[in-house]
């Protein structure tokens, strides 16, 4: 029997039993019959769980230019040290501040195919983990006020991401089971047992916040940040054996 719709139907084939060998013939191992599984139905399920983020990652960078590479490097180190000290003064632990990139290179212009060297550029980028989302704007303003020249973005996430992903998977399986039951009911059958569940895992819709270069004055209002909810999506495929009502 085949059931169409949101399902693919798998029909199992019966195995064959090897015949008894004639006298003097080479003896072969008999092939045992494969039990028939019956009519199966394959249904898909989807679920989306929305959850407010409780963690943010702020990416900041300091750029410094100088005619000599050592001068660019030293100037950059001085500013980045000041930025990190100001962030730690907010109560952020040192483990919340992580270097993500460092680069030192000479910039250049090109005229008539000729390279014209310019100053050296030193860039140091850090990622700051903020668990109090109400302080994300303060972290940005503090870093910029201390000398950060780039705010490269803010990314929101969940501390217990795995727990939310598991919930999305549970809901997706329940949705797939309901779809399988509907398909079976339309054919005058019911689910006997579930024999397989496949999942592509749970994925989230990122909520990045692009921020422009900020140089806030001390009297300026804090940078407003509104994270919104995160969406965790799960998709599963369920295979079940059917039986007659």
In this predicted model, what pLDDT tens digit does every residue of 14-55 receive, in sequence order?
A: 333 344 444 444 545 454 444 556 799 999 999 999 999 999
Going by pLDDT thresholds of 50, 70 and 90, the confidence category of residue 205 is low
Q: Which CATH number fits domain 1-12+34-51+159-207+231-245: 3.40.50.1100, 3.90.550.10, 2.30.29.30, 3.30.110.170?
A: 3.30.110.170
Question: How much is the pLDDT for 226?
Answer: 84
CA distance 154 to 137: 10
Q: What is the pLDDT of residue 120?
A: 98
Overall pTM surpassing 0.85 (yes/no): no
Strand order from edge to edge, sheet including 114-130: 97-111, 114-130, 55-66, 150-157
The answer to whether domain 1-12+34-51+159-207+231-245 and domain 55-157 are alike in fold is no
pLDDT over 90 at 212, yes or no:
no
Spans of all domains in the chain = 1-12+34-51+159-207+231-245, 55-157
Q: What is the pLDDT of residues 72-117, one digit of tens each?
A: 999 999 999 999 999 999 999 999 999 999 999 999 999 988 999 9
pLDDT exceeds 80 at position 187 = yes
User: What residues pair up with 42 in beta bridges, in sequence order?
Assistant: 8, 239
Query: Which residues are 233's β-sheet partners?
Result: 48, 203
Percent pLDDT > 90 in the chain is: 70
Q: What is the pLDDT of residue 55?
A: 96
Model confidence pLDDT, tens digit, residues 3-13: 434 443 333 33
Question: Who has greater pLDDT, 183 or 207?
Answer: 183
Architecture of domain 55-157: 2-Layer Sandwich (3.30)
pLDDT of residue 173: 97
pLDDT, tens only, 46-78: 999 999 999 999 999 999 999 999 999 999 999
Q: What is the pLDDT of residue 64?
A: 98
CA-wise closest residue to 128 among 155, 162, 160: 155
Higher pLDDT, 225 or 183: 183
Span between the terminal Cα atoms of the chain, in Å: 15
Region 171-182: mean pLDDT is 97
| Burial per residue of 55-86, b for 16 or more beta-carbon CB atoms within 10 angstroms, e otherwise | bbbbbbbbbbebeeeeebbebbeebbebbbeb
């Amino acid at each position: 029997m085949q059931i169409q719709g949101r399902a693919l139907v798998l029909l199992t084939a019966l195995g064959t039993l090897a015949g008894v060998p004639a006298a003097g013939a080479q003896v072969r191992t008999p092939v045992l019959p494969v039990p028939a599984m019956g009519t199966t139905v394959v249904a898909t399920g989807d679920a989306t769980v929305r959850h407010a983020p409780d963690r943010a990652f702020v990416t900041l960078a300091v750029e410094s230019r100088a005619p000599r590479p050592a001068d660019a490097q030293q100037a950059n180190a001085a500013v980045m040290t000041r930025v990190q000290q100001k962030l730690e003064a907010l109560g952020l632990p040192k483990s919340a501040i992580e270097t993500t990139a460092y680069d030192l290179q000479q910039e250049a212009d090109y005229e008539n195919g000729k390279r014209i060297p310019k100053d050296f550029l030193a860039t140091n980028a850090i990622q700051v983990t903020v668990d109090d989302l109400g302080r994300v704007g303060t972290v940005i303003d503090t870093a910029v006020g201390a000398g950060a020249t780039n705010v490269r973005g803010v990314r929101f996430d969940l501390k217990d991401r795995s727990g939310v992903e598991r919930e999305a998977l549970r809901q997706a399986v329940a949705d797939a089971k309901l779809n399988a039951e509907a398909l079976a009911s339309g054919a005058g059958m019911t689910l006997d047992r579930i024999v397989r569940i496949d999942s592509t895992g749970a994925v989230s819709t990122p909520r990045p916040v692009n921020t422009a270069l900020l140089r806030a004055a001390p009297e300026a209002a804090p940078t407003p940040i509104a994270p919104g909810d995160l969406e965790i999506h799960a998709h599963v495929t369920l295979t079940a054996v059917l039986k007659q009502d």
